[in-house]
Amino acid sequence: MITDYHAKLYANELTRRFPSDSVEKFTGTLMDSQVDLNPHQVDAALFAFRSPLSTGAVLADEVGLGKTIEAGIVLSQKWAEGKKKILIILPSNLRKQWNQELWEKFYLPSIILEAKSFNKSIKTGSINPFVNDSIVICSYHFARNKSEYIQTTPWDLVVIDEAHRLRNVYKTTNKIAREIKQALFGVPKLLLTATPLQNSLMELYGLVSFIDEHRFGDIKSFRKQYARLSSDDNFNELKSRLQPVCKRTLRRQVLEYIRYTERKPHTQSFVPSDDEMALYDMVSDYLRRPNLQALPASQRSLMILVLRKLLASSTFAIAGALDTLATKLEKQLSDDDAYNEALENLSDDFESLDELVDESDSETDIEYIPLSEMDRELIQEEVDELRSFYDLAMRITHNAKGEALLQALNVGFKMTQDLGGMEKGIIFTESRRTQQYLIQLLEQNGYKDEIVLFNGTNNDQHSRELYQNWKEQYKDTDRITGSRTVDMRSALVDYFKSSAKIMIATEAAAEGINLQFCSLVVNYDLPWNPQRIEQRIGRCHRYGQKHDVVVVNFLNQRNAADQRVFELLSEKFRLFEGVFGSSDEVLGSIESGVDFEKRIAEIYQTCRTPEEIKTVFDSLQQELSEEIAGEMLNTRQKLLENFDIEVAEKLKVYKAEATVSLSKFENLLWDLTHYSLSSYATFDNEQLTFSLNHSPIESIPIGSYSLRKGEDSNHHYRLQHPLARYILGNAAKRNLSAVKVVFNYSNHSGNIAILEELIGQNGILMYSKLSVETFESEDHIIGSALTEEGKVLTTDQARRLFELPAEIMDASAFEFNSLNQVFEGNKAEVLSKISERNANFFDEEMEKLNQWAEDQKHSLDLQIRDLDMEIRLTKAEARKKPTLEEKVSLQRHVKTLEKKRSEIRKRFFEIQDEIDQRKDDLLDEIEERMQQTIKEEELFCIQWSLI
């Protein structure tokens, strides 16, 4: 029983803009998203741009707390505000995961830019493919290679995941980080990393300078002040300077909200046959040769890495690769320019090749040079050799590891059943040919009709059928996105959840799918990249998993290098057991997983004997132990972590505020929708669902809609849904005349104590929208009301009236002018709070600039002091020299040093001028933004009566 006046008020409240320090700023996003509310994520999103003068933040939560979700909340809010020029830079292997999660969790469209799609866009006439209607996702290497395009794009926000790759940006050797930093100068940035500090406090300097050049002075002054935290004052000063820009939450601090399960490892040993070992040894020796016709020099390390992975996968995988190499060389001999085809064709065998190419600096295109007669002889010899390897591989019809898989599945399923999980398992392989071998093996051994494949193409008959059935099942619903890739993934995951027992997946499945219903992960091939393994296991061992996850790995008893790699991944990286898997400290010690893989491949290339393998792996383990330094862990804890009690209290507040705010928004949207669609839809108030029987506008489909997340309805109804936008727009712009609205307290369930004193009274009321543009844009909906006797109602009383059912009656003659004074008082109160908040922002910014100025002066002081010392020492040395020539030489050096000192003293005053200019610029900017643009809009005036 609401009225047009309720509807207009509700619509304006649902679409108003909130200040950056308000939980309600993100309420619409939280309501629209498909994620469950976790208060630490709301806290992080609020922190990200807590000040409108901020240029960004580092979100450094521990692994597993959902930094992607935190960033997604911020991105959704920016998107809703119309700030849609957004870039996400991340490692290649995370591109699909972000692309998928942005849509599934936040309904945000995104595209992945890589060489192929970029070049296609250029060919179709785009001047800059980074200028796009969707969020743009690209890798670090791609961002560096296309930095000139990035630099010319006016970004609203850039998110950088796994940002510890940038922490050494202060080093001239880190070219990728430095080029990206230059391309993004002045752009608001959000950096995500679980390890902002690994080996040195200088890494914190690097990350923070990436966001804000004025948070600290130059590198010399930072190193002198903070490289060694010698006193409590020194330490506390650094902590206070970091707090506005860097935020870290720990897993132990959120156990009240998030339940974590454990990882349970099982290692399955196997012994390869003599033929398998002979093939392995022959191909290994072949790959160790200094000159190979099939492997161009610029691609050599990358192709060896791929071939060694295929060799470890299965004889079927390496057979296909050997055939590919031999065929490529045969085509070269026939004068067909196939020089560039080997790497491209290997992608049919190894799906992660694009990622490896993107993360490496290898040249993929090579200049073709005509073959000499000697070249032809060498190529033919190599072809014959490759064909002999291929023939041996094809004669091997059974793999020992495949037979071991059957045993491992029996053990794994028994373990998952004992732990309460469903009998479902995902088997990961790095090769599509191995995938085909495994499906045949399993179908022949009791798993027929219980398997679903997942790879980069899914062109097999079974997958196509599942896709068509899924499309028919979800026809005319929000589940269908229109993208075959996205919808195929959804169809396969749904089938795995409902029907299949086993999913056999290539690396494509480790990117962007969530399998919380599955609690058995089988690494048939074990990647050498710890970050990739963590990503695989994380498909199942993640938020929402109800059972402990069993992780199965295979161990080759006849390969010493394989055993040491497994030992490294299991014991040093601790990937396969415990509650959290690998620690931040360990994963963060590796900036690039692909570079780490290359190091492992190099060991396989250079070490032949068990003794050589032991020596090299012992050295690698020692190196990792030094990088994971206990002293620096302690420093990181003290600098970046807050007391658990302090965090717990704050999270409780955010939990309560966000829950209340969410409930309020949902109720407002539901009541407004119910009122607006009463003649179009049938409503179920208990389930918060409605069935749209006919649509108010043609573009909006009929069907079932649910306000709740995950409900089995055709459409998820939310603030940004086109139907909601239509309703909100209509209600917000209604022209309403002055009427009498009778609010019925007796017909309302529950008590509203502040209204009880008004029962039986009448008066007048005006609702206004106050829009203020200063440091940020915000709207305030202000209710101003009086009783007939002239008593002023509080703004809370005015608002609570509109929680009551009401009916409209004709108004008697009444003047509303007396409300202007009430409104002006309410307005002054709002503007005072805004001014106070902006004053705090200003103080923070000026304090930061003052500290930066002191850092700059300190740096110059240090240089002058060092020169003073050097001059004194040189003069003293000159006095001791016996010959005139030596004395003159040293005195000339003294003059050079004194001249340099004079220049620095002169520079001191120049720096002071620069500092003053920077402050003036900031003051000018702030003064300009302080010129408040205030817009007042009267929404409606009514007479009111409370019965």
Question: If you search the block for the tokens 């190979």, which residue do you land on?
Answer: 292
Lowest mean pLDDT across 79-93, 213-227, 357-371, 673-687: 357-371
Task: Say what the pLDDT of residue 575 is.
Answer: 80
Task: Say what the pLDDT of residue 345 is.
Answer: 67
Residue 264: how many CB atoms within 10 A of its CB? 21
What's the whole-number mean pLDDT along residues 149-174?
A: 91
587 pLDDT band (50/70/90 cuts)?
A: low
Task: Say what the pLDDT of residue 568 is.
Answer: 86
- The pLDDT tens digits for 273-284 are 999 999 999 999
Task: Say what the pLDDT of residue 198 is.
Answer: 72
Lowest mean pLDDT across 294-298, 504-508, 794-798: 294-298
**Which of 625 and 251 is assigned the larger pLDDT?**
251
Task: Say what the pLDDT of residue 344 is.
Answer: 63
**Which of 344 and 101 is assigned the larger pLDDT?**
101
Q: How far apart are CA 233 and CA 254, in angstroms?
A: 30
Task: Say what the pLDDT of residue 728 is.
Answer: 96
DSSP per residue over 718-753, as a string? -TTSHHHHHHHHHHHT-----EEEEE-STTSSS--H
Orientation angle between helical segments 274-288 and 300-313, nearest 10 degrees:
180
By the 8 A CB rule, do 503 and 509 touch?
yes
pTM for this structure?
Answer: 0.83
363 pLDDT band (50/70/90 cuts)?
A: low
In sequence order, the 6+-apart residues with CB closer than 8 A to the CB of 465 are none
Task: Say what the pLDDT of residue 763 is.
Answer: 94
What's the whole-number mean pLDDT along residues 579-605?
A: 73
Residue 571 predicted with pLDDT over 90: no
By the 8 A CB rule, do 774 and 929 touch?
yes
Task: Say what the pLDDT of residue 44 is.
Answer: 92
Task: Say what the pLDDT of residue 774 is.
Answer: 86
What's the whole-number mean pLDDT along residues 189-216?
A: 87
What SS3 class is residue 455?
coil
Task: Say what the pLDDT of residue 66 is.
Answer: 83
Task: Say what the pLDDT of residue 52 is.
Answer: 84
Question: If you search the block for the tokens 């992607």, which residue do you land on?
Answer: 68
Residue 867 predicted with pLDDT over 90: no
Question: If you search the block for the tokens 């929402």, which residue do you land on?
Answer: 544
Task: Say what the pLDDT of residue 416 is.
Answer: 96
Task: Say what the pLDDT of residue 381 is.
Answer: 93
Residue 702, classified by CB atoms within 10 Å of its CB into exposed (0-12), middle (13-18) or buried (19+), is middle
DSSP per residue over 654-705, as a string? HHHHHHHHHHHHHHHHHHHHHHHTTTTEEEETTTTEEEESS-SSTTSPPEEE
In sequence order, the 6+-apart residues with CB closer than 8 A to the CB of 489 are 100, 454, 512, 513
Task: Say what the pLDDT of residue 388 is.
Answer: 96
Residue 118 predicted with pLDDT over 90: yes
Angle at 689 between CA 685 and CA 693, to 5 degrees: 110
Task: Say what the pLDDT of residue 590 is.
Answer: 66
How far apart, in Å, are the Cα atoms of 554 and each of 532, 549, 562? 17, 17, 10
Residue 813 predicted with pLDDT over 60: yes
What SS3 class is residue 87?
strand
364 pLDDT band (50/70/90 cuts)?
A: low
- The pLDDT tens digits for 704-719 are 999 988 766 789 999 9
By the 8 A CB rule, do 57 and 245 touch?
yes
Task: Say what the pLDDT of residue 877 is.
Answer: 87
Task: Say what the pLDDT of residue 53 is.
Answer: 82
Residue 546 predicted with pLDDT over 70: yes
Q: How far apart are CA 521 and CA 538, in angstroms?
A: 10
Task: Say what the pLDDT of residue 182 is.
Answer: 94
**Which of 406 and 590 is assigned the larger pLDDT?**
406
Please name every residue paired with 556 in a beta bridge, in sequence order, or none if there are none: 270
Residue 582 predicted with pLDDT over 60: no
What's the whole-number mean pLDDT along residues 734-758?
A: 90
Residue 886 predicted with pLDDT over 80: yes
Task: Say what the pLDDT of residue 26 is.
Answer: 87
Task: Say what the pLDDT of residue 168 is.
Answer: 87
Task: Say what the pLDDT of residue 580 is.
Answer: 61
Q: How far apart are CA 677 and CA 30, in angstroms?
A: 24
Q: Which two tokens stand for residue 760?
A: 């039986």
What's the whole-number mean pLDDT along residues 549-555?
A: 96
Average pLDDT taken over every residue of the chain: 88
In sequence order, the 6+-apart residues with CB closer than 8 A to the CB of 883 are none
By the 8 A CB rule, do 25 and 77 touch?
yes
Residue 157 predicted with pLDDT over 80: yes
Q: How far apart are CA 65 and CA 196, in angstroms?
A: 15
Task: Say what the pLDDT of residue 584 is.
Answer: 57
627 pLDDT band (50/70/90 cuts)?
A: low
What's the whole-number mean pLDDT along residues 349-362?
A: 70
By the 8 A CB rule, do 3 and 741 touch?
yes
CA 626 to chain centre: 29
What SS3 class is residue 562?
helix
What's the whole-number mean pLDDT along residues 820-830?
A: 94
Residue 552 predicted with pLDDT over 90: yes
DSSP conformation class of 60 = -
What's the whole-number mean pLDDT along residues 730-750?
A: 91
